[in-house]
Amino acid sequence: MIKSYPLYRDPLFWLSVLLSFFALTLSANAEEVRTRLSGELRVNNTLAPNVVVYLLPEVKGSLPIEPVTFTLIQKELAFFPDFSVVPMGSTLVFENQDDTIHNARSNGPSNRFNIGSQLPKTLKEVLLEHDGVVPIVCSVHPEMSALVYVSPSPYFAKTDSKGRFEIQNIKPGNYTIAPWHESLSRREVAAGRKKITLEKPSETVFLKLMAMGGLETDMSMVSKADWLPEVEAVELALEVAFSRWENKHHTSATAKVMRTQSALYQESGLRNAIAKGLGEPRALALEKRFDEIRKSVQGLKKGQAAAGLKQDIQTLVSDLKKDAEVLKAR
C-alpha cells in the first residue's frame, strides 16, 4: 500500500530547498564581488595631477556604461570646473550664470559642437556620444576655456594634486589600464598603457609616463597634418641660398634664408606645430639654427667654409624631417 502525505513533510524536499537557497546566495555573492584599484602616476618622473586613468576590458564593449548629466557653469567669464571627466554618452549642460551672452563650442577631435548664442540665466545641453578629449572655448570670450575628457569605460579616475588615484567597484578580470593627459601624444599614451589582472579586493599600481614636450604642452588641439612637404620646401630653399652664397651673391642668399625662416618655417604653421608638439625650447632651438645659417651667408662669420655651412643646412633639414615624422605619428 502506497502512503501519500504532503510534500512539505518530506525531509528530502527541505534538503533540496536548503541547498537551492545556499546556491542562490553563493551566486549572488559571487556577482557582488568587486575590487578596488589605487595607484600613483608620474609624468617625466614628476607626480602629476589631473591625469585621467581608465580601464579597458579584454572584450571591447563588454562593460555597460551608465551616462550622467554634468553641468558646466559659465560664471565671471570662466568655466567651472575647467577640467572634468565623464563617461561616454553623458549629457553636458551649459549653465550661463553671467549677465552676458556666451557661445560655447568645441572643435576638438571628438564631439564637435557649437551651442550658439546662450542668453544669461539659461541652460543648453550637448550629448557627448564619443570618447576622447573635448576642448571647450567661448566664441564671444576667447579667454574662457575648459577641457572635458569622455571616458570609454565606466571605470575611471583622475589623479589628485599628489598624482594619486583610486577606482572603486571594479568587476574582477583582465584589463588594460590606459592614461590620458593633454601633454601626452597618441604615441606616448599608447606607450603608457599596461595590462593588469584584478583579482584581490584591493590592488595597487605605479605608472610612469614620458611627455616629450613637457607637462605644460597642450597636445589636445595639435594638428595631425603632414609637415613633410613644408620641410622639403625648406630644404630646396636653403639649397638655393647655399648656391647663391657660393657664387658670392651674399645679399640674395641672405634674403633667401630670411624668407625661408619667416614664410616656410614660421608662417606655414610648422614652428607652431613643433612648439605645441615637441615643446617651445625645441622650436626656439631650430629658430636659432636658422639664424646661424643666415649669419654665415651674410658674411658675419669670418672664414666660414663651404663644407661647414652645407653640413649645418643638412643637419637642420634632417632634424626638421625627424620632427615632421614625429608630429605625423601623433
Q: pLDDT digits over 39-53, tens only?
A: 999 999 999 999 999
Question: Per residue in 184-194, pLDDT tens?
Answer: 877 788 889 99
Residues of the chain with CATH 2.60.40.420: 67-153
Least confident of 70-74, 178-182, 326-330: 326-330
Q: Please choose, from the candidates 137, 140, 202, 194, the residue with its C-alpha nearest in 3D space to the C-alpha of residue 170.
A: 202
Residue-averaged pLDDT of the chain: 86
Q: What b/e readout covers 169-188, taking b as 16+ CB neighbours within 10 angstroms? A: ebbebebebbbbbbbbbeeb
Question: Per residue in 90-144, pLDDT tens?
Answer: 999 999 999 999 999 997 767 889 999 999 999 999 999 999 889 999 989 989 9
Ramachandran area for residue 319 (φ above 0: left; ψ -120 to 50: alpha; else beta): alpha
Q: For residue 310, is pLDDT > 50? A: yes
pLDDT-derived band at 5 (thresholds 50, 70, 90) equals very low
CATH fourth-level superfamily of 67-153:
Cupredoxins -  blue copper proteins (2.60.40.420)
E-strand ranges in 226-272 read: none
**What is the layout of strands, in order, in the sheet containing 91-96?**
79-80, 69-74, 91-96, 123-127
φ/ψ of residue 207, rounded to 5? -115, 140
Q: For residue 247, is pLDDT > 70? A: yes
Question: Per residue in 157-189, pLDDT tens?
Answer: 999 999 999 999 999 999 999 999 988 877 788
Report the 10 Å Cβ neighbour count for 297: 27
Compute the average pLDDT of residues 263-275.
81
